[in-house]
Amino acid sequence: MKNVKHLVFLAVLVAQAMVLSVIESWLPVPQVIPGVKLGLANIITLVVLVFFGFRDALIVVFVRCFLASVFSGGILGFAFSISGGILSTIVMALIYLRFKKSFSLLGISIAGAVAHNIGQLGAASFVMKELAVMSYLPILLISGIIMGCFVGLCSGLLVQSLKKTNYFKLENRG
Amino acid sequence: MLKKGDLFLIAAIVGIVALSYVGMQLVGLAKGDVHRIAVIKKEDKEIKRIDLDTVEAPYKITLSGAYNEVILVEKGRIRFDEADCPDKVCVKTGWLSKRGDAAVCIPDRTMIKIEGNSGEVDSVTF
């Protein structure tokens, strides 16, 4: 961590991600389908990725998953959220840094949501020692597209407004 | 705001889902005379096998452990009926009736999956 300002920004973003997760748990909407979540915290991951880069996004995701499991999930919950979170951050960073020209934040967010679901199901099949867990994948892929669209739109708007402020210096990283 | 890559990505995912759906249907339909066996597993151990095609009257199975689940068995189908785990993904999954269907309770490491008759040749002819 180079300076205090940077550290504080990341801490605030982690806090916001956690608040978003709490708000998300109040929303009754996506409860119809098993295991489907909106993934609002991914908005923060995307914003960190855009303004601070891959390394800080990973740190934010890790800290968020750790804190969330301290407050509610437990060790098993941590294993799931971290495997989904890390995989989705890697995928989103790869697309954002390498293929920015052909993908908007919407597509990056969809890829992230889908990667998150794949990571979680991977962890689940590992815990259960049973590949049949993957039968949840199709429904989670479709929901990943829908939720990813929503999260991508929100992130796009947020990034646009944040760029107008001068709080974040874009020239640090691509 | 949408770019070319986004559309390609969405199309690719929808394509994969469609393919896997067709694949699951084929697995479910192949050899219709094969009995469907529901396998119940808890903590990596298989605890029960039920031939769903020979179930006569509906009945319930209660599993206890870190969390408790009630499994409802009927002719040709099976489901998690109640569970006291936090997320209830297993209950929301609903009825399982085709080969390849599965319902999982992660917090309790319990799952039901449907297999074909074991011991018979698993060949698929088109």
Question: Do B38 and B19 belong together in one domain?
Answer: no
**B104 vs A76, A114, A128: nearest CB:** A128
Question: Do B101 and B42 belong together in one domain?
Answer: yes
pLDDT-derived band at B122 (thresholds 50, 70, 90) equals: very low
Query: Any idea what the Cα angle at residue A109 is, between residues A105 and A110, rounded to 5°?
Result: 120
Query: What CATH code is carried by the domain that includes residue B104?
Result: 2.60.320.10
Beta-carbon separation of B2 and A106 below 8 A: yes
Q: How much of chain B exceeds pLDDT 70, in percent?
A: 85
Q: Does residue B121 form part of some domain?
A: no
Beta-carbon separation of B3 and A114 below 8 A: no
Average per-residue pLDDT for chain A:
83
Task: Taking residues B44-53, report their average pLDDT.
Answer: 82
Beta-carbon separation of A128 and B5 below 8 A: no
Q: Does residue B126 form part of some domain?
A: no
Q: How far is B121 from chain A (nearest CA, A)?
A: 20
Q: What pLDDT is attached to residue B31? A: 58
| Chain B interface includes A128 (CB < 8 A) | yes
Beta-carbon count within 10 A of A97 CB:
13
What architecture (CATH level 2) is domain A4-166?
Answer: Orthogonal Bundle (1.10)
Structural domain boundaries enclosing B88: 33-115
The answer to whether B92 touches A122, Cβ cutoff 8 Å, is: no
B83-91's contacts with Cβ under 8 Å and 24+ in sequence apart are B83/B108, B87/A35, B89/A34, B89/A35, B90/A34
Domain ranges of chain A: 4-166
Q: Does residue B22 form part of some domain?
A: yes
